[in-house]
Structure 1
Amino acid sequence: MSQSWAAPESTATGHEPATPKRQKKRGDGAERLDTIYRSISDAVIEHRLKPGVRLREDALAEVFGVSRTGIRKVLQRLALEQLVTLTPRRGASVTRPSVDEAKDVFEARQMVECGLMEAAARRITAADVKSLRDMARREREALRNREQRVAIKCSAAFHGRLAELSGNKTLADFVGQLCSRSSLILAVYGNTGHLGCESHDHDNLIELLAAGEGRKARDFMGRHLKSIEASLSIVEEPEAAPDLRDIFSVNP
């Protein structure tokens, strides 16, 4: 598939439009590649890069000003987290979860996130409660302002933070990966303007945890995740080439 960057407009003198300047290489150091990884991961989670979209190494290398080797390392890291699919002779593309994969992800979330609620209720502090309330408030504001991308990111961060409160870093990291994959599922099967959960659900979870009601929080989390899954419908979106310069705010 060809890249869909918009061509520069012709000049007033009638000359051919100038070729965009190639980004100056900034090196492939670990810190730089980690920044690129976060940029692409965020673009996937926030639905700026749609499931199924092809991610060309040469285009990304030009946008970020690094080598194709560096981009390849980033894409391999994203593939390990199942945000990107690597296909022989076709390259990388944003993962498009199947119906069965979507069900598996939510089943895993039921098992893991619900199971962590009792530990979270035992360990939660007043500072944690305040932080969670701030996160829930930002999510509500984003939904109210129809800032879908921000709301999606806030929701994923909220669930990740709840998992961290359990004290089990391994499972918390796994929940973070499941939440990232859930954002892809919402992009493919979700309804526009709806994240699959009621705006007050997270507030209710906070109150249960703050009161030390771990079992009730576990049960409520189960219903919460079920409501998200129940909101999904199979809606196929046509594959389209992304404007990488626009997505990552890179000027020619």
Structure 2
Amino acid sequence: MEVMKKAKPQDIVYQYVKNQIIGKSMFPGNRIIEDDIIRETGTSRTSIRPALLRLKYEGLVEMIPNRGAFVAKPSEEDLRQVYRVREVLEHGMLEDAIRHRTEAQLRAMEENLKAQEVLTQHYSRQEYVTLNHTFHWLVVEASANKYYEKYLNELYNKINTYMIFYDQSSDNNSIVSHTMIYEALRDRDLEKGLLGLREDIQIAWEDMRKINVPL
């Protein structure tokens, strides 16, 4: 708790609410109670709105006038739109990543893939979400394009929310497509990379479509 006290109050609130959502202590559609946040974080009410606005930007929170803030409750149409935009943005991003990727970034991807391989033996949903996000973010960083970072960060946060709450997969079925993407970056093979991206999106979409995303 000593570390938290050194952070800005709005950062403490932001991290607390985000952890509550990711840890499934708050569920889609739940109202976010400001008094609870103040009690649990020791912050003031003025710190809450900036934190909730950040979470709204990331797609984790909805703010409804005259009603308050709620944990986001994505619909199937939200999901469809997010994956469509992801596909378009990642196509261009991959071209840049293939040109600009560094050896250090490739090594980081290798380590991530090793961790994903271990996860296939001892599966954890939340750990998979973290590794999946980290892998894709390494590819985004390799693009050396701040605008891809800005817009894909928002999309990935939305996708992580869907995965945490609605994806009931019991294994890491993305490791093959992730390996293809890594090899494409290593070999500077755009065609293989685009194939890996399409397969990765298809796997994620099919996993999500197996369950009933609330409308």
Match of 1:217 among 179, 193, 211: 193
The whole-number CA distance in structure 2 between the counterparts of 1:219 and 1:91 is 43
- Look up the equivalent residue of 1:97 and give its one-letter code: P
Alpha-carbon spacing, 1:236–1:104, altered in 2? closer, same or farther (3 Å)? closer
Q: TM-score, normalised by structure 1?
A: 0.74
Q: Give the structure with the higher percent helix.
A: 2
State the 1:228 CA deviation: 0.7
The 8 Å contact of residues 114 and 222 in structure 1, kept in 2 or not, is answered as no
- The aligned counterpart of 1:167 is 144
Query: Is 1:200–2:179 an aligned residue pair?
Result: no
Alpha-carbon spacing, 1:123–1:222, altered in 2? closer, same or farther (3 Å)? same
- The aligned counterpart of 2:162 is 185
The number of equivalent residue pairs is 211
The 8 Å contact of residues 112 and 175 in structure 1, kept in 2 or not, is answered as yes
State the 1:80 CA deviation: 2.4
5 Å-filtered alignment, 1:11-26, equals none
Alpha-carbon spacing, 1:154–1:49, altered in 2? closer, same or farther (3 Å)? farther
Query: Is 1:119–2:91 an aligned residue pair?
Result: no
Q: TM-score, normalised by structure 2?
A: 0.86
Task: Name structure 1 gaps, 5 residues minimum.
Answer: 1-22, 238-252
Identity of aligned residues (%): 24
Secondary structure of the residue aligned to 1:92 is strand
- The aligned counterpart of 2:34 is 57
State the 1:44 CA deviation: 3.1
- The aligned counterpart of 1:32 is 9
Secondary structure of the residue aligned to 1:96 is coil
Secondary structure of the residue aligned to 2:62 is strand
State the 1:54 CA deviation: 2.1
The structure that has the greater radius of gyration is 1
Match of 1:137 among 84, 102, 114: 114
The whole-number CA distance in structure 2 between the counterparts of 1:224 and 1:137 is 18
Moved more, 40-49 or 81-90: 40-49
Query: Is 1:228–2:211 an aligned residue pair?
Result: no
RMSD: 2.5
* Residue-by-residue CA offset, 1:91-141 (whole Å, 9 max, x unaligned): 211101111000000001100112211211111122111111112222333
Misfit runs of 4+, over 6 Å? none
The 8 Å contact of residues 118 and 215 in structure 1, kept in 2 or not, is answered as no
Moved more, 95-104 or 164-173: 164-173
The whole-number CA distance in structure 1 between the counterparts of 2:92 and 2:106 is 19
